[in-house]
Amino acid sequence: MPCYYDVDDILMEEEPISVVFQVTANGVGLLDPGAERNSVEKGAKVDLPLWLAHGMLSLEQAVSINVPPCFTQKVSDKSIGQFLRYAFTSRYKEILSKSHSSSTMTVPKFASRLTTEEAQVFESARESMAAFKRWRVGGARLQKASILGRKRKTKLPDGSSTA
């Protein structure tokens, strides 16, 4: 689900994709730069932003979306899922390892090559390690729960209570 304030989501929704109009659309000639009238004819191929193409697709199938060539079966490989999983897990391990072992001098070099999501994982891991080290060095090991300091009143079978 796209996030309203996420720049990556905004840019992704602005990405143009190719669509073919399944109906003649009057009053939308601005969408087709080659249109001579203020309409787009049935069968016309037009590049639209993803958000608009998705809206027109759900509007009684006014357009059909042409799948970009990089997502067709000719280009896809059955092992790509395994490869992507391997790439993600190995990269994730590298990020965690560097976040726990890197000095403050080497952080800017490494962090500048990370994507936004990887940088968030890196910073979260560094903060987690710092909190662990603070706890290990001097933090209280166990803390008594506040509820344990209060005495409970117990009721005796005859109806009276103890304090």
64-121 per-position pLDDT tens digit: 887 777 666 666 777 888 888 898 899 999 888 888 876 666 677 777 888 888 888 8
This prediction's pTM: 0.42
Mean pLDDT (the chain) is 77
Contacts 24+ apart (CB under 8 A), 64-69: 64/19, 64/20, 64/22, 65/17, 65/18, 65/19, 66/17, 66/18, 66/19, 66/20, 68/17, 68/18
